[in-house]
Amino acid sequence: MNDKLTAFLRTKPPTSAGSSNPLEADDWLRVIERKLEPFECQDRDKVLLAAHQLIGTALAWWENYFAAAEDATTITWNEFVREFHRYHIPAATMKRKADEFRALQQGSMSMEECTYQFMELARYALEQMDKDKKKQDMFKKGLSPELRTLLTPQIYPDFNTLMNMAILTKRAKAEERKENKRKFLESKARQQNRFQRPRSSSYTAPGSQAPMQYRTQSQVTGPQAPNTQFRNQNTMRALQNNASQVTTNNNNARACLNCRETGHYIAN
């Protein structure tokens, strides 16, 4: 037995401390069974070698079960596996996990994450996975509507082919959306550049009026020519002479208060 234990430990078998996750307990038992296969041990030796790797709460369970047995030396490997499952993977937990499997939806998960969850939870619903067709139907049922629509019309020889096709299709759709987004952003940028480009002020669109411009009087008339200035000066002189002549005539027209004749003037 010591030689078998030494050889068994060389394979570096994992230990089990118990876990609230039933999959961890099931994984440990699967690994132990696989590592025991080359040794062709009797049931009694298998039980002792497996129990050697129990620690923590898992070891406490085994010690209590071993002590309560009427004859611990008669415990078979099948009994060990059955009781290990009953304690570490209770029926209520198995049912809850099976319900999670049936309700599994891809949601926001990537295709790889969804596939991993499907394979993990499928271990709790083996009765629904006994046929490859059932496995494919359950897998497609949990996919996103887009992927399910693309994959359902095709027939796949086995589940692995369906799984690989789902991963490739999901990746292709993601690349397609990325390319469409790139084209949209480029088109939007071109439109913005076209509207923001400065326009020439001398250009007037067909059918439109030029903008109203306001100008000062000097801008309208421009600088006066020299001839115009001379004409203005002559006009001013003529007006002044006329005013002087009117004043003189008025003075001459006034009569003398003494003799009542014009040409001279005596106030009193």
Write out pLDDT tens, residues 129-166.
Answer: 889 999 999 999 999 999 999 999 999 999 999 999 99
34-51 tens-digit pLDDT: 999 988 888 899 999 999
Return per-residue pLDDT of the chain as tens, 268 residues: 678 899 999 999 999 998 878 888 889 999 999 999 988 888 899 999 999 999 999 999 999 999 999 998 899 999 999 999 899 888 888 888 899 999 999 998 988 999 999 998 998 888 878 899 999 999 999 999 999 999 999 999 999 999 999 999 999 988 888 888 888 888 888 888 887 766 555 545 555 555 555 455 555 455 544 454 445 555 556 555 554 554 444 444 455 556 666 555 454 4
- Identify whether the C-beta of residue 45 lies closer than 8 Å to the C-beta of residue 1: yes
Spell out the domain ranges in the chain.
Answer: 2-89, 109-180
pTM for the full model? 0.54
Residue 150: closest CA among 116, 173, 178: 173
- E strands along 57-131, which residues? none
Q: How far apart are CA 9 and CA 22, in angstroms?
A: 25
3-state secondary structure of 225: coil
Instruction: Write the CB contacts of 251 (distance below 8 Å, at least 6 apart in sequence).
Output: 265
* Distances 181 to 185, 230, 240 between C-alpha atoms, Å: 6, 78, 87
What is the Cα–Cα distance from 42 to 48, expressed in whole angstroms? 10
